[in-house]
Amino acid sequence: MRIGSIDLGEKPLLLAPMEDVTDPSFRYLCKQFGADMMYTEFVNSDGLIRDASSCQVKLNIYEHERPIGIQLYGHIIESMVEACKIATQANPDLIDINFGCPVKKIANRGAGSGMMKDIPKMVEMTRQIVNATHIPVTVKTRLGWDNESKYIVSIAEQLQDVGIKALTIHGRTRAQLYKGQADWSLIGDVKSNPRMHIPIIGNGDIDSPEKAVEMFNKYGVDAIMIGRATYGRPWIFKEIKHYMQNGERMNPFTVEEKVAIAKEHLLKSMEFKGDRRGILEMRRHLTCYFKGLPNFKELRLRLVTSDCPDELNDILNIVAERYAGVVPDESINPSPWA
């Protein structure tokens, strides 16, 4: 699969852009475990053109992450175009437009999936952004605003016509948020539309190697994007690739192995953000690594309250020792984002 001049190989696996999740330390791990392409946390166009530090820092990308995209969101065309020009200077491999975020404070302003209530504006914004940069522009969106407005087949054609190089579709409407089951049938309809020639990337509910293979085979998508299933499980990319290559699941990670991964994640978080902030922002990840462990409440509390690197490493060593040989139930939702 190619996005412009970016060759991602056959049936690539992409890490979805997620606020407060896909920071450099998490991206580092996902890349190590086989993510073929990644994205930054999504960037507020208004904040970026105001030079807000919280937005500027999200433009920091590293050579080991490539290929990588910067995702932008906003509801004002002029602001999005200007933000695109600024983001282009950070030299990502592509610019992605967020027309999919369902969060109320974003969608109700007309940004993210809120743009699906104004398709002509969505298309015009995309056209102007494509014309504002020399690098490939892609879009991530949903099936529609609600069950009565699933216009994704027509939307896909219009976005392709104004020049996007790939389209990611989450198989839910904005009204669904993340509830219910993702409907991949309409994603398949877009892919099978003879008018479409750009890559179509499917997204939604890919939480196992079997599900990934099923969606590739059943709907013919060019790639799969994985979001929430990576929480506490950045190795899911490796699991899926192993299954696609060998037809069987790889051995599950032991608690000791997960402790080693959590330690590396913590180290990278502090390396990129400094000890204090690195630890604070790791708290949402640490307990996710150990979901499914019995009688874990006390250790979980210590993991999310300690602000000392040495103490955190000591706690993680206790986890490894206490649960040696235990295989956690990974089907249990990681509570911080469930």
Q: Which two tokens stand for residue 223?
A: 């790639």
DSSP letter at 59 equals G
Catalytic position from the list 30, 55, 101, 288: 101
Q: Which two tokens stand for residue 215?
A: 């969606």
Active site residue 30: no
Q: Tokens 């175009």, residue?
A: 81
Distance CA 307, CA 277 (A): 9
257 CA to centre of own chain: 24
Phi, psi (deg, nearest 5) at residue 289 = -65, -20
Distance CA 336, CA 83 (A): 31
The three-state secondary structure class of 302 is helix
Q: DSSP per residue over 171-209, as a string?
A: SS-TTTTT-S----HHHHHHHH-TT--S-EEEES---SH
Angle at 208 between CA 303 and CA 164, to 5 degrees: 100
Q: Do 320 and 256 form a contact (C-beta atoms < 8 A)?
A: yes
Question: Catalytic residue numbers?
Answer: 101
